[in-house]
Every structure is written in structure tokens, then in C-alpha cells.
Amino acid sequence: MKVICDREKLMAAFQTASAVAPARSPKPILQNVRFDVTGSGDGEGMMMATDLEVGVRVMVPGVMVESPGSAVLPIARFGSILRESSDATVRLESDGQATIVRGDRSEFRLPGQNPEEFPTVAEFGESKYHELPARFLRELIRRTVFATDVESSRYALGGVLLELTADKVVAVGTDGRRLAMMEGPAKAVAGHQTGDNTTIIPTKAMHLIERALVDGDTEVQLATRANDVLVKTPRTTFYSRLVEGRFPKWRDVFPRRVDAVKIELVVGPVHAAVRQAAIVTDEESRGVDFNFADGKLVLSGRSATVGQSRVELPVAYEGAPMVITLDPRYLIDFLKVLDPEKNFTLELKDAESAAVCTTDDGYGYVIMPLARER
């Protein structure tokens, strides 16, 4: 293989691919990225990486091919070469025994490995799939993935549940103490639907997909199968095994309450107030009391070893006083994925019932209350 590559484009693709590769593995070949080029002249290359659970294929534009071929690139050393270089282009040569990387005034020789030993990374060849706007998919992941629990053994909580119908997608993440749900438009192609199948995409894969989505991306194709999922953006294809196991009946968690009090709030001021009230909390006393009275919300935190806090916030609330104790970390997680100017509705029934937060764009969040300290 002999190619000349645009360094920045090569580095962007390499960073996306190398994020999938494992830091440690009984198979050392996996701690590398495979780089394939075909044809001759102006063309594209393909970066591939996998940990055998998640795999990625990334297109590399701006490649001048003198001789096609493949190379196995070590993540730490090759990544450092690209980051430290200031050259506009780099030349790569590989003969299977070694890979030579040349800049304008630099040359590196890295030991080679056999590309044929690198595992195959699945391509997107599905005829049935869903199309989603890329910007919406990125927002959907941001608003649900933080609520997952990768350490749970009781339920399959280490991923985001996807439910796909003819014109909609619903995503759910939960750790058993809070639950985040986002729904929005998704177009089925050739009748693709999840039906009764439980499609839970691992948390790691969802983070990688979110990071790979860039502002210029328009549509994303997503195909679910019995045991895995494929996601294709204009330049990247992800493969991931699905999380096995049962997912909680999440719809039962969203209470349908006609007697709940609905309070309209603004994200930014509430976010700031909760962060302030949480300053004096600790692991043993982590709850913050949310006291609603006429025209104001008072947040109170206390800890025997740290101190007390009291933060007052004017809100549009009229009615009988209400109080509920919540873990501030869970509310902060919800608020920080929203624009500060955005409004949300907080539904409360009493101190023992779940607090429900909703927005006008299909986002819902449920937090279980804490027992109030008397």
C-alpha cells in the first residue's frame, strides 16, 4: 500500500475508529485500526475497528492512492504521530512487515501486522431499515443514555431500548431510580419495525454513535436484527450486538395522573438553583427538599458534616404548599441536556409519588423521590 492522505481528515477518521478498539484485549490485533484503500488516484479509504461487541467502519476522504492495499495501525503510536504532526499531508507505505509514515521532515517506521488476521467488521447491506434525522438521533441519545445502568444484573439496563414503528421511534433509558424517554419522527423503509423484539443498544455503542454524528450529517439509517443493530451515517457505519435480557415495563412507570399538580418552569434558573442547593449534600444526606408555595420554590439541602443550604426561586405556582425530596444529581442530569431557555413541566402528586418532568418536544423524565428527613 502506498497512499498520500490529508492529515486532518485521516486523523478525524482514525479517532472515530480508535474509540471502538479496546484498551486491553486477549487478542492484541484488536488494539489496532485496519486501514484499507482500493483503486488508484483520487479516492477514499476505509478505517475499521472492533472489540467484537461493537464495530465501526469510517470513510476517509482525501486519499491519493498510488498502490492499493491494507495496513494495521497501532492506536497509541499512530494516533500520536498524527496529533503531533503539523504537516498538511502524510504518506503511508505498508508491505505487511512494517508501516512507514512520512511527513515533510519526519519519518516513522512502525512494526506491521497481517491485515488478514483482523476480524471482519459488518457492512450496512440491509434493505429494511428506519431513516432518522441525524440531529434528532444525536439529541435522542443525549437525552436517554445518561440514565442507563451498565452495572445492573437484574434487568437489561445497560443500554437504551428502541421501539420503532411505521413513523416513530421511542428511546428509553433507566437505572431503576429514574427513567428518561424520548420519542420523535422516524420513517420505516420496506416495513422495518421492531415489533415484539426487545432492541436494547449498549450504552457504549450509543455514546460512540452520538460522537460520530457531525453537524453536516442529514439522514441516518438504522436496521435492527435479532441479535444486533446496524447504524449508517453518511461516512460511518456502526455494528453492535444487542443487550440480552428483559427490559422493565417502562410504560407502567409513567403515571397517568389526573390529580397531579403541573408546574411550568424554566430550565436555566432551576438548574442553577439545584446546583447551589446540592453543594452541602453528601452520600449520606444527598436529598434536596423542593418546597413549593405561592409564587416561589425553596430548595433546602442539609448534611450533618457539611452544613445547610437554602435557595429561593420565584416560580409561577399557586396552590397549597407542596414538598418533595429528590436526589439533585438526577434532576441535574435531566436539566443539563436541555437548552437553558427551554420550558419544562414538573408534575407532582405528593411526597411519596414519582416526579415527572416533560417537555413539548417528546421528552419525559421520571424521578423516584427520597424519604424525607424529619
Instruction: Give me the residue spans of the domains in the chain.
Output: 2-117, 129-251, 254-367
CATH T-level topology, domain 2-117: DNA Polymerase III; Chain A, domain 2 (3.10.150)
Instruction: For residue 204, give the nearest of 171, 174, 159 by alpha carbon.
Output: 159
254-367: same fold as 2-117? yes
Instruction: For residue 288, give the nearest of 217, 168, 372 by alpha carbon.
Output: 372
Rg (CA), the chain: 25
C-alpha 158: how far from chain center: 12
CATH number of 129-251: 3.10.150.10
CB 91 within 8 A of CB 3: yes
Per-residue confidence (pLDDT) for residue 305, from 0 to 100: 86
Which cell is 374 given?
424529619
pTM of the model: 0.92
Q: Which residues contact 251 (CB under 8 A, 6 or more apart)?
A: none
Rounded Cα distance between 217 and 29, Å, is: 31
**Averaged pLDDT score across all residues of the chain:** 93
What top-level class would CATH report for the domain 254-367?
alpha beta
Phi-psi region of 289 (alpha: psi -120 to 50; beta: other; left: phi over 0): beta
Express each pLDDT in 127-165 by its tens digit.
Answer: 999 999 999 999 999 999 999 998 887 789 999 999 999
CB 148 within 8 A of CB 158: yes
Instruction: For residue 120, give the nearest of 230, 34, 207, 228 by alpha carbon.
Output: 34
CB 315 within 8 A of CB 265: yes
The better pLDDT of the pair 247, 304 is held by 247
pLDDT grade, residue 374 (50/70/90)? very low
Express each pLDDT in 228-285 by its tens digit.
Answer: 999 999 899 999 999 999 999 999 888 777 888 999 999 999 999 999 999 999 888 8
- Taking 50 as the threshold, does the pLDDT of residue 172 lie above it? yes
pLDDT grade, residue 299 (50/70/90)? very high
